[in-house]
Structure 1
Amino acid sequence: MRPSARVERHSFSKLKETVEMPNLLDVQISSYESFLQRDVPPEKRENTGLQSVFTSIFPITDVHELFSLEFVKYSLGEPRYSIRECRERNMTFGAPLKATLRLVVREAGADGKEKVVKDIIERDVFLGEFPLLSENGTFIINGAERVIVSQLHRSPGVFFDEEIHPNGKKLFSARIIPYRGSWVEFTLDVNDIMFVHIDSRRKLAATTLLRALGYSTNEDLLKTFYKCVTESISPKKGTRLIGAIAAQNVVDSSTGEVIVTANSEITDEIFKKLLDLKIGKIDILEVDFTIDAGIIRNTIDKDSTSSFEEALFKIYALIRPGDSPTVELAKDLLEKLFFNPKRYDLGEVGRYMINQRLELDVPLEETVLNRKDFLAIIRYLINLRNGFGDVDDIDHLGNRRARSVGELLANQFSVGLSRMARTIRERMSLKDQEQVSPHDLVNARTVSAVIDSFFGSSQLSQFMDQTNPLAELTHKRRMSALGPGGLTRERAGFKVRDVHHTHYGRICPIETPEGPNIGLIASLSCYARINKYGFMETPYRVVKNGKVTDEVDFLTADKEDKFLVAQANEPLDDHSRFSNNLVKARAKGDFIVVKPEEINYMDVSPKQLVSVAAALIPFLEHDDANRALMGSNMQRQAVPVLKTEAPIIGTGMERKAAVDAGAVIVAKRPGTIEYVDAEKIVIRPTRRGKEKMMELVEFDEYEFTKFKRSNQDTCINQRPIVNMGDKVETGDPIADGPGTNLGELALGANVLVGFMPWRGYNFEDAIIVSERLVADDVFTS
């Protein structure tokens, strides 16, 4: 390659880059690929994204169970038009989505009970054009490029909180947040009574819910939550038994009279009765109520129900007031509320979070609640009241997750399919068995209408900021706490917007808007990635016995809290050991000094703290944070100049930003430039090994975008930076785009600046420019 086609860079960095920076568009591309699984054979597809939406809604059965529509597989065809044609014709770039559906028709059997299969019809059903992601991480919708911004929201799971009562007492609460379904909140009041709220309705005693879950008697409840012992009843045991709390009901077998009830105190009188009746033994609670607040006991006293049926009826009356149910109906309602996967879904994430928080081992596939969960939550709440355990910090990135493009689309597709399922059921009841096929039942418009409205009008589907390559890149890496199911500007307080210690290496503390959205819209840090559960991870080098290894671990925020992490610029000797006897390290939000042996991890790069835009600012560490924020935002507003000039002083991010943004065209494989003009480059690939034997040579052709109008009315024009005969390697830049120079981001010009007053003309924000800047078109765009 010609020496002139590459900017020679000399690095003055003390640190060598140990970890390669990931593709900056990975957040969009990998999320969409795992959603679509386009190149995966149907039988090998994982139950995620589009596949999981189909399997959760199908099979669809009618009321009489005569028709059943089952899902077999889905496939995507080839796009009818290229991206370029879609832009020119104002069309959406997408591929036809077809689902193979199987309709099973049944009829009543000879005995009238068993239904027998009468017919099976399998057909491919067209479900509309599904928008495809371009290789630059954008969607072409009606000819315009749009970006789906990732959303930061509260993760499903269980969260423990505290508030201070006016009398100074701490009141604890626990909230179960599902991905889909009813919210449940357990609260403690001033009198240490536990209540439960289902969907913010009127409160119930928590024991009412427990009774409905099968712990129907006071005896069951006490033995579930307290340690019980069996004591023999004799005159010697009087001192131990008098004043103790009974854990069971004792009944006089001859008269049927209840002598002592579970949860009541054994008095002198009751003790004498027990002795007289020669009752041999009794279960009592072995609990020190000076330490334990006796929450379950207090709640049982407050509870107006005393049996399984009463509890069911009370819950039914709360959710459906006015109806008079049977036990079966009430049972069915409770089942639907928390235990039916069609109505209630914690998602794999919610189940993972509950397992982590409560130290349970429920399989991740079980995405509904169970009795174990309720008991563990109530026990943890009791422990909090008794002074053990910690409450959650809602702004911690272990409790917030990102919904990327794939998940947002899956949610929309699920809404569309649910609507379609409703119309399918209606049509099933109207159709005649003889003349029905999957085509007659399915109305694809319902699905495509939902998807179209999401791309066209959702708060998270945005017209791409295309002012310059950096603006494009930043827009695709943006994280928004706003949008459906998120926060609103007016409601969001200071705490949600503030920088949190878990943002380190995950969310940039610098780049955020200055207006009402400050802190609600953020940018992903350079090295950050989003894992399969939607939590942000950042890489760290593993440290073993004070020696820094080249092994790299990606840690989520809650995992990182358990370790001590050293800074990237901590000096190391030739054997990769820490040079200093004491090392500065981060422990949660604190900066402490420890011995090298205590360190678990080390940062991979000083850049991992900040986003791409902030990492493009040289000597960022010397800048005031407020001005750095303005600088990183203003770089995105730079209109590409006519004569681009790469910066003399760069940070090493210029090439990565320009290439990953898609402004620069790079060679896909090594070869020789065969042909070059203003509109295309043809490369003859270098043949290696067996390829040398092949007769035919497949040339690589790269077409340029010429003088295209961008979304912001700037000009997108690509031009070659190589000559015929040049040799290129994989990843070498071969054509420049807007705002780039020799494959590097070049948003401005290298001008000489004098810092001095000049007769008051440069007072405050005024700048004096040389006439030559205008005459030589230095900043002409």
Structure 2
Amino acid sequence: MYITPLFLPNLLRIQRNSFFNFLEYGIKKEIQKLGIIVNKKKGIKIIFYPKLYQLSLPNFNCNDCIINSETYSCELSLPIKFIGKKMTVIWIVLNNIPIMTNNCHFILNGSPRIIMSQITRCPGIYYHKKQEFLKKDAYYADIIAERGTWLRLEVDLKNKVYLKMKKVPKVPFITFLQALGFKVHTIFHFLPFLILKNEEEEEEEDPILNSQNEAIQAIEACCRNSSKRNIGMNWNLLNIFDQLMNNKYYDLGKIGRIQINKKFQVYTDCMDFTLNSNDLLLAANFLLKLKHGLFEIDEVDNLKNKRVRIVGELLQYQLIIGILRLKKYIKNRLINFKDDLNITNVFSSTPINNTMAEFFGLNPLSQFMDEINPLSVITHKRRLSSLGFGGVSRDTATLTIRSIHPTLYGRICPIETPEGKNAGLVNSFSIFADVEDGELIRTPLLKMKNGYILYNTGINYLSADYDDNNSILSFDVEKSRIGFLSNKKLPTRIKQELKEIDSKNIDFISISRIQMLSIATSLIPFLEHNDANRVLMGSNMQRQAVPLLKPQCCLVGTGLESRIINDLDEGLTSHSDGIIYYLSSHKITIYNFIKKYKHILFKNSFFNDKKYVKIDIFSLLKNEVNSFNKILYDSSNIFLKNKKIMKIRDSDNLLKLQKIHYLMNPYKYSNQGTCNLNRTQVHLGQRILKRTALSTGLSTSHNELALGNNMFVGYISWKGYNFEDAVVISNRLVRTNLYTSTHLEKFEIEMKMNQENTEVLTRNVNGITSEQKRKLGRNGVIKVGSSVYSDDILVGRVLFIKIDVLSPYRKLLNEILQKESIRYDYKDISLRVPKYKQGRITFVNFSKDIALNKNQSNLNSKTTSNTTLLIHLMQNRIIQIGDKISGRHGNKGVISRVLNEIDMPYLIDGTVIDIILNPLGVPSRMNIGQVLECLLGLASNYLLKRFKVVPFDEAIDFGLSRNFVYSKLYLSKIKTGNSWLFNLSYSGKNRLIDSYSGLYFDQPVTIGKAYILKLIHLVEEKIHARSTGSYSLVTQQPLKGKSKNGGQRVGEMEVWAVEGYGAAYTLHEILTIKSDDIKNRQKIVSFLLESRPIKFGTTETFKVLIRELQSLCLNLHFFK
């Protein structure tokens, strides 16, 4: 029984619910901390009313924010009462809060950003063991707070307990308790192990003090004599402990208080978020029992000891910081401001706004959204990071933190994680995972009783706390259709261990076989036949697939492709029933019949005994259905059976028409430079229902995720061109644009106009051709829809510069006669298309104040203004040599050759192979899933069917995947009559014909249809060449990198290679005039033009070396 689609929740609900809780509860909770601000000297009192706060509507919609580089935010306002000389109640703007969009991301300064969830250690108390060489184990306990200082309790070999804090000397715990007022008999009642003597130690125990004052004096003496003291003489440890009991300075948090209560099995009010003396007594008692083996140490990596901070809590924490800054700001203003005080000169929204800006701009959890394709978008929003403030460091994180813990099952995907330094530190939520109010990750399970699955009782969401007390069975076991398990012992997880127990004693069972996987991983068919490292690569490379112009749905999928598109909701969806009235690439208009017509037609007793035909408004307009002209509905008619023809204008008593407009953004720019092109899914005159998809993106086909194309592949070596991971493709992929991707490049310039220099837009630029001039508008800006090529002008721009050519005497004369003594010169600073770029202009946005200044007198104006101009250039990039492609199983490669179709091998029926892969890339990588996929894709191609294969299907029967694939190949052989599709002599292989000789290859070849993706690592963005350019200041050698227009480095090994060929003169040129021989590299052109021999001088690197030796007092002189 496969129940994944039934129970699969919305994939973005975690982020959405967290932000809603922040708006509904978090803002009120934190604003209450402002309290009442009083200044008794000036008789001022400020009262805040957080429960009455309001959020205003954003000034711009999402598309306008992206176009105008604005922030999608709203103003947070609340009423305050200001009591001074007069009592006034006024609404103030507390700050501007960035608002989450419907797709769970933010828009900051025109760029979509997401806030990653953070997984950190829960606040509470944790017990550890420190192993030392040739010594007994030392035990200690750390009390971690959500906000405030850490506290540590240590026990030595003599059962002595010490209290330690950051930047505070170690203090005996008994003395500290006495200083707090505890009696000696009370201390030993709670800590009986302190009475035990250690016979191996001859030293006497520290004497017990007689009174509380003596204990306080002993602590002060200890602190006074400590060398670690770095604060004033009036410092006291007891004052610091008082802060631990004050919620202003110390906060355990709700989850920290619950954890301490569970640990010690006591009940303390869950709303008491501070530390008390009883907690310290119980903590010391538990530590002593732990030392004597009565308890076990805590596992830090267990998920029950970790919490998740989602976007709502992260924003709430920043709001706390901003409110504290605001409170401090108001108090300082009340003290320092001497004039008449009012709310305008006391209050400011700057402190909170700056805090939010710092968080979104500097925090590592705030990242530019990965918008390559829909899968990368939804995966990025479900990411979990252990880095950031309050987390671990990438450089110091150990393998223990990065490893996989058993409690991750069903909560965090053990496969999908980055490769490199972030491996194991950045993870993804499992597909069914949820987060409860206590920030613990939960997974859904079904209850079991006596070996029967209780489907009717519903789903139970359990956190890692319950794993220790319950036995949990994986879903991939044999079971009956109604939910009975076999009467035998099954492998079950109990307390992080796998044991075989009787099915009648099992408590819970998973709800799906893919419960442990993330979204990207669950899209890989036959993943159980792959090495986990290759599944990891496949998961990551699906997120790197660029949107194609002609994508196809995968022939072999897992059934979750449509769910990603539905939950992401990127395209337009109709909100009601209706008929398409107007259709274009920018707007869709729908006429909706409201319920008044249906009410009369079907519920009125007058019509109950009659039948009516379905109304078809366009039945009389068939000639205009495919037209894009507007249709006047006034001339249309409605036909009712047994009734006369009624025009719409005369039928107000039967129906009402409502016109609904949907605006589309046809070419949407993404952070990664890909183009999210909206394509309409409906046609003019179509009758649609509610929730019908009106438009979809490039990576969508038939309302399913479509990242690539289904291609015929063959696993065979071809003349060495597919050596290692190289790939040979057919020219058909280029000719038919199957792998042509659309990319957008953004050009943004700022127009500056001031008193000294003025920039003017104009189409009259020196050297411009008539063809280029036709593409420019009257103001010198390129027209939308123009095709541009390398070095074409996008913005004609001229900079006018004031020049002074008159003598001082002439200037004086002109000033006396009040004549203009300033002349202007101009410089062409037009924006042009970069080299090797071409495309079509899809978007131009500029301020309407920019106009052509025809008169030179306008240049003398004293106004200063800056205006931004934005242009989008769309490019279609065909697949070519050097591009990177991959499958879904980690089988990646780079295109090494593009062959004509007539040169590619072909099948017996004449089908030409599209892609040739190296067969040696399969056994060493252990990703057999790609073979099963391509064989099932071959059967799918000839059966004209698509297959949805759930991962881990062999849990039902061993060898089920292979048997299923072979059965479908055999079925395709029977139905099509092609006997070569399945041959028992070499099952899964076929005879392939060499196009050059027309003969069969010597051995049968594995041939199939696989789903191939084109990745964003495009050769067009990586290839680079340089003739001249910038040089390093110290070494005077060319810089490195494409972004700096750098050169290719010739290192030590490259020098050896050239030396091996004996090319001495070539090597001499490379190391001198092509590198850092400053004097002669400037004269190289004149040497060549005048046919003179090239001269070589001293390189700058050698000069730097000599200068360094001279700085070491070595008198070396090799150059002047």
Q: TM-score range by the shorter chain?
A: 0.7 to 0.9
Q: Which residue of 1 aligns with 2:215?
A: 311
**Retained in 2: the 8 A contact 1:316–1:333?**
no
Q: Is 1:614–2:521 an aligned residue pair? A: yes
Does 2:261 correspond to 1:362?
no
The 8 Å contact of residues 593 and 655 in structure 2, kept in 1 or not, is answered as: no
1:305 shift after superposition: 5.2
The question of 1:225 aligning with 2:199 is answered no
- Counterpart of 2:177? 210
Do 1:664 and 1:740's aligned partners in 2 also have CA atoms closer than 8 Å? no
1:527 and 2:432 matched: yes
Greater relative contact order (CA < 8 Å, ≥ 6 in sequence)? 1
Deviation readout 1:332-382 (Å, 9 max, x if unpaired): 54312x100101111112112211222221121110011221121111111
Distance 1:313 1:608, change over 3 A: farther
How far apart in 1 are the matches of 2:63 and 2:321? 31
- Letter in structure 2 aligned against 1:170: D
Q: Partner residue of 1:639?
A: 546
Q: Partner of 1:211: helix, strand, or coil?
A: helix
Equivalences for 1:504-583 in 2 at 5 Å?
504-550=409-455, 551-583=458-490
Partner of 1:493: 398
Number of the residue aligned with 2:92: 125
Report the equivalent of 1:588. 495
% identity of equivalent residues: 32
Give the secondary structure class of the aligned counterpart of 1:92: coil
Quick check: 1:158–1:176 contact (8 Å CA) kept in 2?
Answer: yes
Is residue 162–residue 172 contact of structure 2 (8 Å, CA) maintained in 1?
Answer: yes
- 1:609–1:342 Cα change, 3 Å: same
Q: Say if 1:705 and 1:718, in contact at 8 Å, map to a contact too.
A: yes
| Contact 2:72–2:108 (8 Å) recurs in 1 | yes
Deviation string 1:141-192 (CA, Å, 9 cap, x unpaired) is: 1111111111111111111111223335232111110011121000112332
- Bigger CA drift: 69-78 or 467-476? 69-78
| Equivalent of 1:302 in 199, 206, 222 | 206
Is 1:658 equivalent to 2:624 in the alignment?
A: no
CA contact 1:582–1:595 (8 Å) conserved in 2:
yes
Instruction: Assess, with a 3 A threshold, how the Cα gap between structure 1 residues 438 and 354 changes in structure 2: closer, same or farther.
Output: farther
After superposition, give the CA deviation of every residue in 1:697-745 in whole Å (9 maximum; x if it has no partner).
5555433221122111111111121234545555443321121112111
Give the structure 2 partner of residue 602 of structure 1.
509
The aligned residue for residue 70 of structure 1 is 47
Partner of 1:377: helix, strand, or coil? Answer: helix
Q: 2:857 matched to which residue of 1?
A: none
Alignment partners' CA distance in 1, 2:523 and 2:101: 26
The aligned amino acid for 1:603 is: S
Q: CA deviation at 1:665?
A: 3.3
Q: Name the residue aligned to 2:333.
A: 427
1:392 is aligned to 298
TM-score, normalised with respect to structure 1: 0.81
1:739-754 residue pairs with structure 2 within 5 A? 739-754=699-714
Q: Name the structure 2 match of 1:472.
A: 377
Q: Distance in 2 between matches of 1:212 and 1:64?
A: 38
Cα distance in 1, alignment partners of residues 740 and 174 from structure 2 = 74
Gaps of at least 5 residues in structure 2 are: 601-653, 742-1120
Q: Note closer, same or farther for the CA distance 1:777–1:172 as it changes in structure 2 (3 Å cut).
A: same
Aligned runs of 1:618-767 on 2, under 5 Å? 618-669=525-576, 672-683=579-590, 692=599, 696-724=656-684, 726=686, 728-767=688-727
The aligned counterpart of 1:91 is 70
How far 1:615 sits from its partner (Å)? 0.8
Residue 29 of structure 1: how far off its partner (Å): 1.2
What letter matches 1:536 in structure 2?
I
Counterparts of 1:504 and 1:689 in 2: how far apart (Å)? 53
Aligned match of 1:135 = 102
- Alpha-carbon distance, 1:754 to partner: 1.2
Deviation at residue 667 of structure 1 after TM alignment: 3.8
How far has the Cα of 1:545 moved from its partner? 2.6
Task: Give the Cα separation in 2 of the matches to 1:594 and 1:324.
Answer: 65
1:437 Cα shift?
3.4
Is the 1:150–1:403 Cα contact (8 Å) retained in structure 2?
yes
Q: Within 5 A, what are the aligned runs for 1:398-417?
A: 398-417=304-323
Spell out, residue by residue over 1:95-135, the C-alpha distance to the aligned partner (whole angstroms, 9 max, x if none).
01112222345xxxxxxxxxxxx864322111232111111
Query: For 1:565-614, what per-residue CA distance to the aligned partner results, in whole angstroms no more than 9, with x for missing partners?
Result: 11112222243211343333222332222212111111111122111111
Selected match of 1:163 from 116, 130, 133: 130
**Which position in structure 2 is the counterpart of 1:30?**
17
- Matching residue of 2:258: 352
Tell me how far apart the structure 1 counterparts of residues 6 and 263 of structure 2 sit (CA, whole Å). Answer: 32
CA pair 421-606 structure 1, distance change in 2 beyond 3 A: same
Is 1:147 paired with 2:114? Answer: yes
Residue 12 of structure 2 aligns to which amino acid in structure 1?
Answer: L
In structure 2, relative to structure 1, the CA distance for the partners of 1:96 and 1:487 (3 Å cut) is: same
Give the Cα–Cα distance (whole angstroms) in 2 for the partners of residues 576 and 124 of structure 1.
61
Deviation, structure 1 residue 325: 4.9
CA RMSD for the aligned pairs?
Answer: 2.9
Give the letter for the 2:677 counterpart. N
In the TM superposition, residue 538 of structure 1 has moved relative to its aligned partner by: 0.9
CA distance in 2, matches of 1:690, 1:179: 60
Structure 1 unaligned runs (5+)? 1-13, 38-47, 106-117, 228-262, 264-286
Alpha-carbon distance, 1:427 to partner = 1.8
Distance in 2 (alpha carbons) for counterparts of 1:330 and 1:172 = 23
3-state SS of 1:633 partner: helix
1:340 aligns with 2:246: yes
**Equivalent residue number for residue 50 of structure 1:** 27
Note the C-alpha offset of 1:306.
4.6
* Alpha-carbon distance in structure 1 between the residues aligned to 2:593 and 2:290: 68
Correspondence for 1:188: 155
TM-score if structure 2 supplies the norm length?
0.58
Aligned counterpart in structure 2 of residue 82 of structure 1, from 42, 58, 61: 61
Aligned-pair CA distance for 1:664: 3.4
- Residues 365, 729 of structure 1: alpha-carbon distance in 2 compared, 3 angstrom cutoff: farther
Counterpart CA distance in 2 for 1:500 and 1:571 is 26
Aligned to 1:245: none
Deviation string 1:63-105 (CA, Å, 9 cap, x unpaired) is 7695443320221111111111111111101001112222345
Go from structure 1 to structure 2 and tell me whether the alpha carbon gap of 1:224 and 1:501 turns closer, same or farther (over 3 Å shift). closer
Q: What is the count of residue pairs matched by the alignment?
A: 679
Name segments (4+ residues, structure 1) moved above 6 Å.
Answer: 297-300, 319-322
- Cα displacement string for residues 178-231 of structure 1 (whole angstroms, at most 9, x for unaligned residues): 01112100011233211111125321111122123321x43332234339xxxx
The whole-number CA distance in structure 2 between the counterparts of 1:690 and 1:361 is: 63
CA gap 1:774/1:604 in 2 versus in 1, 3 angstroms: same
The answer as to 2:4 corresponding to 1:17 is yes
Cα displacement (A) at 1:417: 1.3
Contact 2:581 2:590 in 1 (8 A): yes
SS of residue in 2 equivalent to 1:160: strand
Give the whole-Å Cα distance in 2 for the aligned partners of 1:135 and 1:304.
65
- How far apart, in 2, do the equivalents of 1:322 and 1:687 lie? 75
- Matched residues in 2 for 1:643 and 1:574: separation? 41
Contact 1:154 1:400 in 2 (8 A): yes
Q: In 2 relative to 1, CA 561–689 (structure 1 residues): closer, same or farther, beyond 3 Å? A: farther
User: What is the deviation of 1:669?
Assistant: 4.7
Question: What corresponds to 1:268 in structure 2?
Answer: none
Aligned mates of 2:676, 2:668 — CA distance in 1:
5
- The question of whether the paired residues in 1 share the 8 Å contact of 2:593 and 2:658 is answered with no
Question: Deviation at 1:683?
Answer: 4.5
